[in-house]
A and B are shown apart, each in its own frame.
Chain A
Amino acid sequence: MSSVRPPRVAEQLTVDELVRYGPLGRAQMLVGEDLTRRVSRVALVSELDQIRSHGPGTVVVLSGALGHGAWMVESALRLAWERSASCLVSPAETGPTPATAQLAARMRLPVFAVGEDTSAYALELAAAVASPEAARARLAARCAELFAERSSARGILGVINGEVPGVSAALLLPDGHVLAGQAAAARAEHQVRVEVPGPDGRRWADLVAGLAAPPAPTWAESVRLILRLARAPLTTSVARERVNAVYGAEQARTALTALLARPGRGAAAEPVLDLPGWRTEGRHVAVFLRTDPALEGAGLSPGVVSAWQEVLPDLPLAPWRDGWASWWTEPEVEPGQVAAALRRHLARMRVPVPLSAGVGRAADGGEGLRASLEQAVLAAGATVRLGHGEVRTFDELGYRALLGTLGQAELAAAARLVLAGLLAAPDGPVLVVTLAAVLDCGGSTGRAAARLGLHRNTVLGRVERIRGRGVDFDHPDQRLALHLACYALLPELAGGQTGGQTGGQAGRE
């Protein structure tokens, strides 16, 4: 029998704490009732009668020599209960049974079974009970050691979730988005939370530990310590991921540029692409992502690439021209399917900038991929004006895809000049939208009215006012330029013009 003098009351561990970061964590918990009992000492008993000599707060550990079966465990349980012991630890082979567990639950006494030598186990327990701080420090040290071995945020969160019993941890962005770990942590009623700085030293995310029950102050402090230990490795992992993303993006850009710089060559002459997820053989449907041209593209790449990898980890994404290129490679793949999938994924992606996408036609081999990508780029040129999350296929846009390639800023500036007269009218923007619709409909005011959702007379009235401003769209040599000028202005009019929905709809069709 071994026993340890009780430490000062304030420092006594509870059974709960011994489970969470003490040796009891290794034991099989048969009954987890009333784990808040304080532990004052550990007693290893090799005879039942020895239990009678121990007072409240004792962890009663049954010696392996007591291998007499379930009846013995139940007898010990009864004696331990009568003496307000903290819990009972039995050798697993001695055979606590489900009925034993029922009895323990009835007595609300925690019972554990251990598969190892209970003598050594009792010593370890006694050491933990004698020195609560040491037990906490050991857990923290173990976590710190494991943190150092993990390179990803996922891995570091895994250490906390795996090693710290009763705790679910998650890494949350300030807006509540779960970057890694268990979402349950974010919803937990009882939390311990520390801020995690980004590579720039400013708050980047929160590391949150969710606890099932209100933690004892000492336990909350232990969890906080472990979370703080995880902060630096997390920051490092973020920095590493960003560097990796930039490096990977540049690699991909180079590879894609090499692939596309050889138009007309056969597949055999193409450079070998060995980046993960890259396939040039088979049937492809290319995708091109774009953001608002006003936003600077290159600096955004790490954010876009990592957001893409989060939802589509198996597909490549390479920064290319003024956007990002990717492609689906499947034997039966169709652009419509790709567009639908992409819409769903864009909605889920947490990107730093608004993204819209164009989808090319399906085509085979490296040559086909080139063509499909060019089509996707054209389509994306049109969708970028439509806003975040918009996806259009090349076929869907038809010839309008061509308009997407026009230099938007220059053309719009010129359009504002050539249509200055029209825009100067009180309802200038409305007139431009109407003019675009009439031109779209080959001069038919009836069809234009239907398209704009207006009465034909309204359109006729507007056409009169347009003509009154000196705009003659009957001249064949003027019509193309007028039409282009209207298209150049439509996006900005769609954003702020007072023509309401009609203009907006016209711009989106």
Chain B
Amino acid sequence: MSERLITSADVPALLAGAEFFSTSAAGEGIDFAGVWLGDILDHAGPVRLVAAGDLDPGTVCAAVGAMGSTTAMAELPPSGDEPAVLASALAGRCGPLGAVLPLNAASVNALFPVAAAALLELPLIDCDGMGRVFPLIHQTTFELAGLPLAPMAAVSAGFDALLLETGSARAERLARVVAQSAGGWLLCALYPTRVGRLAGAAIPGSVSRVLEVGRVLLAHAPGRPAGAGPVTLAGGRWQGDAAVAPHERLLAGLAAVTGASVLGGGRLVEVGPSVRQAAALFPGNPVGLAVHDHDSGRLIRIEAHNELILALSDGSLAAAVPDLVCLLDRGTLRMTGPGRLTAGDQVDVLVVPAAPLWHTIPGLALGGPGAFGFPLRHPKEAAG
């Protein structure tokens, strides 16, 4: 039995973890959602976080996630009534919802499903369909497993409700147009299915992982006493070791809970728009970054398109989507991204391996570098 409760006390950790898994770009400006979620949890009570296996396999569930601009969400925040609209819209097609799960436990979408579960008084299944942020709503492990995206319910800040019955790729296109017209964002419930079908189609433990990473980040936030290691390092590996820089302690902590590796770190020598011709489907502008690795002298080049998509080390592909490439600001010990960086900043580049589902051939086809318009083979693919 792995049931846990998520209370308002967990919100800071959830927020910090959500920022981490946003792969350094989409996590920007999501603090508003933390405040909003804290209020909901205080009023509606804690949310039960359960493993899929703990529920009746026949329980109807749906993935919840927002699409659109986080800036628009911050300006026109959700009221709290949206999940009810989604639930009633789907109920007509699939029957009453018995549980919700995050579409992707990262960025704001790590918080909205918790709010939805609290408001609908449903358990939250500890899994998701991305394990990170992807720009398109059908770039999911659900898709890989053959779960249909539709029927998809969506609601805007203005309570425009929508029930889409179409294929995955068309759903993305149509919903994005609606999102733009309806205020910049939509809250969606999609991939409605039975809990029993989540096995092998979802990434288990996603929400727990977000919380865990969030706690590590909070434990190392500036102002905390030096050496206050994360829970996973209870043995006190870094305890009292003043020679170890704070960012190194944090990196060790993050590596311990996520399996991340540090690609390198040093001064950001270049940040600016990339001339890459982006696929029209993807929103946002391509950005290029270059980090000069202090220790080895290598040049780490990162291409970003909202999320950090790939990292080259001295021109050699070192990491790429679907694995997470994240940037840690050594100064603030927070995750950071191109929008918050200027040349001269000191950053560390982390690579977090994606869920094994993503490293399959169909997984790399849907979420690998090729899906983002990069004519490159993913390092795992190349090695294979």
Known pairs A97-B270, A99-B270; A74 contacts B301 (CB<8 A): yes
> How far, in angstroms, from A281 to B384 measured CA to CA in the complex?
92
Contact yes or no, B312 A68, CB < 8 A: no
Q: Mark B280-302, 1 if CB is under 8 A from A, else 0.
A: 00000010101010000101010
Q: Which residue of A lies closest to B309 (CB)?
A: A71
- How far is B277's CA from A94's CA once the two chains are assembled, in angstroms? 10
B190 interface residue (CB < 8 Å to A): no
The total of Cβ contacts below 8 Å across the A-B interface reads 77
Output the nearest chain B residue to A76 by Cβ-Cβ distance. Answer: B315
Whether B315 contacts A77 by the Cβ 8 Å rule is yes
Contacts of B307 in A (CB 8 A): none
The answer to whether A95 and B274 have CB atoms under 8 Å apart is: yes
A–B pairs, 5, beta carbons within 8 Å: A75-B376, A78-B314, A78-B315, A95-B275, A97-B272
A contacts with B, residue count (CB < 8 A) = 25
Decide: B274 and A69 in contact? CB cutoff 8 A.
Answer: yes
- Interface assignment of A457: CB less than 8 Å from any CB of chain B: no
Q: Chain B's nearest CB lies how many Å from the CB of A134?
A: 34
A244 an interface residue at 8 Å Cβ cutoff? no
B36: interface (CB < 8 Å): no
Q: Within 8 Å of chain B (Cβ to Cβ): is A500?
A: no
Bound together, the chains give a CA A327 to CA B224 distance in angstroms of 86
A106 engages B297 (CB within 8 Å): yes
Nearest neighbor of A98 in chain B, beta-carbon distance: B270
Contacts of A94 in B (CB 8 A): 275
Bound Cα distance from A102 to B299, whole angstroms: 8
Query: Which residues of chain A are near B274, meaning CB under 8 Å?
Result: 69-71, 95
Which chain A residues lie closer than 8 Å to B275 at the CB level? 67-70, 93-95
State whether the Cβ of A296 lies closer than 8 Å to any Cβ in chain B.
Answer: no
Residues of A within 8 A of B297 (CB): 106
Judging by beta carbons under 8 Å apart, are B299 and A71 in contact? Answer: no
Compute how far the CA of A78 lies from the CA of B316 in the bound complex, rounded to whole angstroms: 6
A492 part of interface (Cβ distance < 8 Å): no
Instruction: Using A99-B299, A103-B299 as known contacts, say yes or no to A71 and B375 having CB atoms under 8 A apart.
Output: no
Partner of B290, one of A47, A77, A99: A99
A112 beta carbon closer than 8 Å to chain B: no
A48: interface (CB < 8 Å)? yes
**Residue B374 lies at the interface, judged by CB distance under 8 Å to chain A:** yes
Q: How far is the CA of A213 from the CA of B54 in the complex (A)?
A: 77
A75 touches B299 (CB 8 A): no
Chain B proximity of A99: nearest CB distance (Å)? 4
Report the minimum CB–CB distance from A67 to chain B (whole Å). 6
**B303 contacts the other chain (CB 8 A):** yes
Q: Which residue of A lies closest to B269 (CB)?
A: A99
By a CB distance below 8 angstroms, the chain B residues around A69 are 274-276, 286, 288, 303
Q: Is A81 an interface residue (CB 8 A)?
A: yes
Asked if A97 meets B288 with Cβ closer than 8 Å, knowing A67-B275, A71-B303, A74-B299, the reply is yes
Tell me the smallest distance from the CB of A335 to a CB of chain B, in Å.
Answer: 63
Write the nearest CB–CB distance from A77 to chain B, whole angstroms. Answer: 5
Contact: A48 with B303, CB < 8 Å?
no
For residue B327, give the distance in angstroms from its CB to the closest CB of chain A. Answer: 16
Give Cα distance in the complex from A74 to B318, angstroms: 13
**Known: A99-B270, A99-B301, A106-B314. Contact between A71 and B288, CB under 8 A?**
yes
- Known contacts A75-B316, A106-B314; 18 additional CB pairs below 8 A are A68-B374, A69-B276, A70-B275, A71-B274, A71-B301, A71-B310, A78-B314, A93-B275, A95-B274, A95-B288, A97-B272, A99-B269, A99-B301, A102-B292, A102-B299, A103-B299, A107-B314, A107-B315
A363-407 CB contact bits vs B (8 Å, 1 = yes)? 000000000000000000000000000000000000000000000
B297 to chain A: closest residue by CB: A106
Contacts of A70 in B (CB 8 A): 270, 274-275, 288, 290, 301
Per-residue B-contact encoding for A61-102, CB less than 8 Å = 1, 0 else: 000000111111011111101000000000001110111001
Given A47-B375, A98-B270, A99-B299; A81-B290 close (CB under 8 Å) = no
Cα A79 to Cα B314 in complex, Å, equals 10
Q: Which 4 A-B residue pairings sit nearest by Cβ, starting from the closest?
A: A78-B315, A99-B290, A74-B315, A69-B276
> Which of A74, A77, A99 lies at the interface centre, i.e. has the most chain B CB atoms within 10 A of its CB?
A99
Q: Does B317 contact A (CB under 8 A)?
A: yes
Kindly provide the distance from the CB of B114 to the nearest chain A CB, expressed in whole angstroms.
Answer: 37
Which B16-40 residues have C-beta < 8 A from chain A?
none
- Give chain A residues whose Cβ lies under 8 Å from the Cβ of B277: 67-68
**How far, in angstroms, from A78 to B269 measured CA to CA in the complex?**
19
Residues of A within 8 A of B303 (CB): 69, 71
Give the Cβ gap from A95 to chain B, nearest Cβ, in Å. Answer: 4
Interface centre among A75, A76, A78, A94 (most CB of B within 10 A): A75
Residues of the A chain whose Cβ atoms lie less than 8 Å from the Cβ of B374: 68
Find out whether the CB atom of A71 lies under 8 angstroms from the CB atom of B312: yes
The interface residues of chain B lying within 8 Å CB-to-CB of A81 are 315
Shortest distance between the CB of A65 and any CB in chain B (Å): 10
Chain A nearest Cβ from B238, distance in angstroms: 33
The minimal Cβ–Cβ distance linking A81 to chain B, given in whole angstroms, is 7
List chain B residues, Cβ under 8 A from A47. Answer: 375
Q: Which residue of B lies closest to A81 (CB)?
A: B315
B234 to chain A, nearest CB (A): 41
Task: Please encode chain B, from 354 to 374, with 1 for each CB lying within 8 Å of some chain A CB and 0 for all others.
Answer: 000000000000000000001
B290's closest neighbor in chain A, by CB?
Answer: A99
B-contact 0/1 string along A101-125, CB 8 Å cutoff: 0110011000000000000000000
CA distance A68 to B312 in the complex (A): 14
B315 touches A75 (CB 8 A): yes
By a CB distance below 8 angstroms, the chain B residues around A97 are 270, 272, 288, 290
Task: Chain B residues near A48: list those with CB within 8 A.
Answer: 375-376
A74 contacts B270, C-beta separation under 8 Å: no
A97 to B301: give the CA distance in the assembly, Å.
Answer: 11
Which residues from chain A contact B276 at a C-beta distance below 8 Å? Answer: 67-69, 71-72
Report the Cα distance A69→B299, complex, angstroms: 15
The docked-state distance in angstroms from the alpha carbon of A76 to that of B312 is 11
A:44-58 near B, CB below 8 Å: 47-48
Quote the shortest CB–CB distance from B9 to chain A (angstroms).
Answer: 42
CB distance from A173 to the nearest CB of B (A): 51
* CB pair A74 B286 closer than 8 Å: no
How far does the Cβ of A297 sit from chain B's closest Cβ, in whole Å? 70
Residue numbers in B under 8 Å from A77 (CB-CB): 315
Contact indicator B375/A74 (Cβ below 8 Å): no
Question: Closest CB-CB distance, A89 to chain B, in whole Å?
Answer: 16
Contacts of B314 in A (CB 8 A): 74, 78, 103, 106-107
Closest to A78 in B: B315
Q: In the assembled complex, which residues on chain A have CB atoms less than 8 Å from the CB atom of B299?
A: 74, 99, 102-103, 106
Q: Which residues of B contact A95 (CB under 8 A)?
A: 274-275, 288
- Residue-wise, chain B 57-96 has the 8 Å CB interface mask toward A (1 for contact) of 0000000000000000000000000000000000000000
Chain A residues lying within 8 Å of B312, measured Cβ to Cβ, are 71, 74-75, 78
Q: Which residue of A lies closest to B270 (CB)?
A: A99
Closest chain B residue to A46 by CB distance? B375
Bound-state CA distance A94–B276 (Å) is: 8
With the chains together, A78 CA to B299 CA distance in Å? 11
Q: A195 to B207, alpha carbons, bound, how many Å?
A: 85
Name the CB-closest residue of B to A95: B275
With a cutoff of 8 Å between Cβ atoms, the chain B residues found around residue A68 in the complex are 275-277, 374-375
A243 to B4, CA, bound (A): 105
Most buried by A among B276, B301, B310: B301
For the complex, give the distance between the alpha carbons of A107 and B297 in Å.
11
How distant is B253 from chain A, measured CB to nearest CB, in Å? 30
Give every chain B residue within 8 A of A103 (Cβ-Cβ): 299, 314-315
Q: Which residue of A lies closest to B289 (CB)?
A: A99
Complex Cα distance, B202 from A487, in Å, reads: 120
Interface string of B191-225 (1 = CB under 8 A from A): 00000000000000000000000000000000000
Smallest Cβ-Cβ distance to A68: which chain B residue:
B276
CB distance from B199 to the nearest CB of A (A): 38
How distant is the Cα of A70 from the Cα of B272 in the complex, in angstroms? 11
Minimal beta-carbon separation of B305 from chain A (angstroms): 11
Residues of A within 8 A of B310 (CB): 71
Residues of A within 8 A of B315 (CB): 74-79, 81, 103, 107
